[in-house]
Amino acid sequence: MPDFYQVPRGDKMKFFIMGGTGFIGGPLVRHIINKGHEVILLARSVSRIKNLPSQIQPLIGDPLKPGDWQNIAGQADVIINLVGRSIMTRWSKASRKEILDSRILSTRMAVEAIPSSRAEKMTLINANAVGYYGNSGDYLITEDFSPGTGFLVEVTKKWQQEADVASEKGARVIISRFGAVLGRGGGALAKMLPPFRFGLGGKLGDGRQWFAWIHMHDLVNALLFVAENKSIAGVVNMCSPKPVTNLELTETLSKIFKRKAILPVPGIILKMVLGGSAEIALEGQRVSPAVLKRAGFVFDFPDIEAALKDLIENDDTSVP
């Protein structure tokens, strides 16, 4: 038996979600309410909370600034912070600042929302990324590995440092290092599919760089899993136990679409087009979700081919 305490079935928890209207947040809040828990969702504007399930309690506020919303967040059992400007853009000086500030400030506001009087009863699950490990080559990376170097590494380090302040208050903190999240309607997959649909896909660079990934279904399950299992704390890699190289990913997409991947993209071209953000595609991490595996978490989509087929061929967009 895994040596963790799991919230008994039927015990209702109150979740406060920051970034809950985004690519990951949407599927996550639906999953949490489907499991019988309560969800309060922070949104920046009324337009962002249209068409939400009726069970979700919407709250308007700015996650980057102090506000009355923090008093409500402080009464939750679990705060999940998913706020962060997309890194899939050209890294100008302004965009680098936005990428960092959106993560640092939202995390700082989440930590400040945790009252010292009940911190020991609360959990902060804060998003992070496997980019923390930098370009790690063929090493199999687990949660105890040291950070690499580069812009994304510095972002993830500072992001984590802000979240760890909550543990000093006495709260349980989970640093969720996401691999590339594969889901319908957005994320990495939305950028990958169009070239392959038209037979224009190909490996990026030399294709040997590792690709740490996770199916959206498994990610939302993993986030609820760590929320419910009280002895899990600290860094948790949230990625498939079977990372693939860029070449393997390319070959799998080609197989699914029955089209040859004939147009490799040299690294120098990617750097010309994307600037600094090209490192996301050209550098990689071979990451293992060691904490989740030890705790007994079961991945429904550990294999890249099955995951991609489910997302591409299955028309049912409900997740998980």
How does DSSP assign 87-106, residue by residue? S-S---HHHHHHHHHHHHHH
For residues 89 and 277, give the distance between their C-alpha atoms in angstroms, rounded to a whole number: 6
For residues 19 and 276, give the distance between their C-alpha atoms in angstroms, rounded to a whole number: 25
Say if CB 267 and CB 283 are below 8 A apart: no
Place of tokens 């120098």: 268
Write down the pTM of the prediction: 0.92
Tens digits of pLDDT across the chain (320 residues)? 344 566 666 689 999 999 999 999 999 999 999 999 999 999 988 777 777 778 899 999 999 999 999 999 999 999 999 999 988 777 889 999 999 999 999 999 999 999 999 999 999 999 999 999 998 889 999 999 999 999 999 999 999 999 999 999 999 999 999 999 999 988 888 887 887 877 767 777 888 899 999 999 999 999 999 999 999 999 999 999 999 998 998 899 889 988 876 666 656 655 555 566 557 777 889 999 999 999 999 999 999 999 999 999 874 443 44
Within its chain, how far is the Cα of 106 from the centroid? 15
CA-based max dimension of the chain: 60
Judged by DSSP in three states, 232 sits in coil
Judged by DSSP in three states, 170 sits in coil
Structural domains of the chain ordered from first start: 14-182+213-240+287-299 (3.40.50.720)
